[in-house]
Chain A
Amino acid sequence: MITITNIKRVGSEKTESVTIEGGLIKGWNLPEEGQVIDGQGGTVAPALIELHAHLREPGQTEKEDLSSGLAAAAAGGYGTVVSMPNTSPVVDDPAIVRTLIEKAAGLGFARLRPAAALTKGQKGEELAELTYLKEAGAAMFTDDGRTNENARTLRLGLETAGSLGMVISVHAEDATLRADGVMNEGPVSEALGLPGNPAAAEAARVARDIEIVAGLHAQGVPARLHVQHLSTARALDLVRAAKAQGLPVTCEVCPHHLTLTDEALRSFDAIYKVAPPLRTQADADHLLEGLRDGSVDCLATDHAPHTRAEKERDLLDAPSGIAYIELAFPLMFTRFGETLGLERILDLMTAAPARVMGWDAPTLDAGAKADLVILDLSTERPVNPAEFRSKAKFTPWAGETLKGWPVLTIVDGRVAYRR
């Protein structure tokens, strides 16, 4: 049993305490029992939910593993993480899903809900055994890391996953339009002489996938499409229009696409190489507007760790990805606390991803699952990558002063992180 004292709920100035027992919230402001933890006046919220992280296990554990990745997530205030299946081997086998869940459960950090591959080997041709993967505990299906070039296979996948009540999430990029692009196509890429990846590569693919969903929807097939890491204004407009038509399409946006632009590539530092690429300020502004008006469903980080040596390669050779699950909330709160408000940011990182997945809404009510985070909304601290739990101990925001740092994360009633 744990009692956390000296905490405040969002929107309240009242100092309260919460008691946790058997993995559940027992109640509020009860007599102190069991282990007593001082919440130091922090703000309590349901633990954050991450729909998009690359934890690199199995097979790429020089970049990250379940232990480092889920510890990093807990330190970032996350209670649940959906891991991407583009590992080595690919998570297209129910046995791998089971192994990952069991291993993660024993670690005591954030809870793992692995996504499984949509197609065998993520090759985009033959569907994986989606029924068995769901039984094994897969949270969703995706070929993220690759693009679904074969539209018919994606359509078959949407039919199958829809019948199972499962979401398919897509890395929406037309690989032929992207070609050899390593950054956003535009005046910056042209001036730098780096191959560009046009916004049309994303928008064209989103348009195609929406049309597939629309066709199925018209026939009453319950397909569910989630667009990952949406990065362009035009693709967002397509999702917005699809929603206005009542189509079952959702999308996520990553904080790096809100806070960085293609101008960062002028440093030629591959730390800024990410897929889809950093876009323009106009795109970032449009995405922020989408967070405000609800056309963007949720935030996700696309935590994508690589080794330092890999990210020190030249921009053509270095792999894509930014890893920052430990500072996603402080980054959002510091940059957008005033424009979006605390409640909206928290919703985008807790209830909203749960809605996308069809999970129960996380609450802090008595009887609810004890997944919660205490956030220190006032203390400003510089980002120090050396302290990261992630194996990727570098970040574009190193040295930047942020506030909103988690001080305590509770997952299943147990302390998963304590500052």
Chain B
Amino acid sequence: MNAPTSMGARPPHLLDFQDWTPERLGAILDNADTMLQVLDRPVKKVPALQGLTVCNAFFENSTRTRTSFELAARRMSADVLTFAAGASSVSKGESLRDTLEVLTSYKVDAYIVRHHAAGAAHLVARYSGKPVINAGDGRRAHPTQALLDAYTIRQEYGSLEGKKIAILGDIRHSRVARSNAELLPKLGAQVVLCGPATLLPPGLAKMPGVTLTTDPREAVRGAHAVMALRLQRERMAGGFLGSLQEYADTYQVNDTLLQEAESGAIVLHPGPMNRDLEISSDAADGPQSRILKQVENGQAIRMSVLYHLLVGRN
């Protein structure tokens, strides 16, 4: 696919959304429509990445994201090399750079990277010289998650323009929140980040199109989409919260809170869910929920990103 020059130079990586124009992001979303059609066929496979080797380099455990990327790459006919740090030389003290040099000697064409440290995907891009897709680096970014969130909202409303998106939960430690706060305003939406003050870093208010509030009703009022983030139970140990019950009583996304939102507002969650903690079962399973839709869209988005970064690149 040779994109028109008005979209700006094609970024070699998807690390975050810094270098991405709205036009290029739109192209990825548009292309996901085609990928969804592929997924509806009896034979869910296209030859686009035939002959290319994609390495799933997961320095941090994540069954869901890894599986989603693996399937996406295989459905594009790529060979997939899965590298899981837990069962590898990394657990024996090998450095990120040394690991990459070994992987690169396997003739890998692109990396999908998950790592516990913010910026690790940037280091992989620097050290490997190959296209890198960030599958989550610390608290920093999880761009394909944000893209699938944007895609799911767009499916509902046709466009992100002028839409209000409320994201509730542990904003401080969330790469999903940061990536959405970076992406959605680029597509014309307003983002409200909401959570307890200890989990809501004031510095994020500097991001364009982003506002902060500790009041969940204010956050959700008039929202077109309401996203609950997973609350890590270990946050209790960090002293960020008085109790999980206190959190749930104040910030849980449930039918009562959703009454403040625009009627028909959709409910999103990046998963895996703590049912009846950050989200009630009625909200998670109700008619407004698009949580399973997100998972399905994630496949299509990841196929689209792989296509966009790898096809037509020599």
Other A-B contacts than A194-B140, A195-B139, A315-B117, 20 sampled, CB-CB below 8 A, are A188-B203, A190-B201, A190-B202, A190-B203, A190-B204, A191-B178, A192-B118, A193-B137, A193-B139, A193-B175, A194-B118, A194-B139, A196-B201, A268-B123, A309-B95, A312-B127, A314-B118, A315-B119, A316-B117, A317-B117
Say yes or no for B107: interface residue by CB 8 A criterion: no
Are A187 and B118 neighbours in the complex by a CB distance under 8 Å? no
Task: List A contacts of B117 (CB < 8 A).
Answer: 314-317
Closest to B171 in A: A190
Interchain CB contact under 8 A, A314 and B96: yes
Q: Considering the chains assembled together, what is the distance between the CA atoms of A43 and B105 in angstroms?
A: 53
Number of A-B contacts (CB under 8 A): 65
Give residues in B with beta carbon < 8 Å to A: 95-97, 115-120, 122-123, 127, 137-141, 175, 178, 201-204, 206-207
> In the bound complex, what is the Cα–Cα distance between A323 and B174 (angstroms)?
34
The reply to whether the CB of A103 lies closer than 8 angstroms to some CB of chain B is no
Per-residue CB proximity of A174-214 to B under 8 Å, as 1/0? 00000000000111111111111000000000000000000
Contact yes or no, A314 B97, CB < 8 A? no
Q: For chain A, residues 59 to 102, give those with C-beta under 8 angstroms from any C-beta of chain B.
A: none
Q: How far is the CA of A313 from the CA of B206 in the complex (A)?
A: 29
Q: Are B204 and A313 in contact (CB under 8 A)?
A: no
Which secondary structure dominates where chain A touches chain B? loop
Question: B96: which A residues are within 8 A, CB to CB?
Answer: 312-314
Complex CA–CA separation, A187 to B97 (angstroms): 29
By a CB distance below 8 angstroms, the chain A residues around B122 are 267-268
Set B116, B119, B202: member contacting A192, Cβ < 8 A:
B119
Give the residue name and chain of the B residue nearest to A318 (CB): B117
Q: Shortest Cβ distance from A177 into chain B, in angstroms?
A: 13
Residues in A lying within 8 Å of B, measured CB to CB: 185-196, 267-268, 309, 312-317
Question: Known contacts A189-B203, A190-B204, A191-B207: does B97 contact A309 (CB below 8 Å)?
Answer: yes
Closest to A309 in B: B95
List residues of chain B with CB within 8 A of the CB of A316: 116-118, 138
In the complex, what residues of B have CB within 8 A of residue A313's CB? 95-96
Minimal beta-carbon separation of B176 from chain A (angstroms): 11
Docked Cα-Cα span, A41 to B140, in Å, equals 53
Pick the most buried of B115, B138, B141, B207: most chain A CB atoms within 10 A of its CB: B138
Q: Which residues of A contact B138 (CB under 8 A)?
A: 193-194, 316
Contacts of B204 in A (CB 8 A): 187, 190-191
When distances are taken between beta carbons in the complex, the residues of chain A under 8 Å from B140 are: 192-194
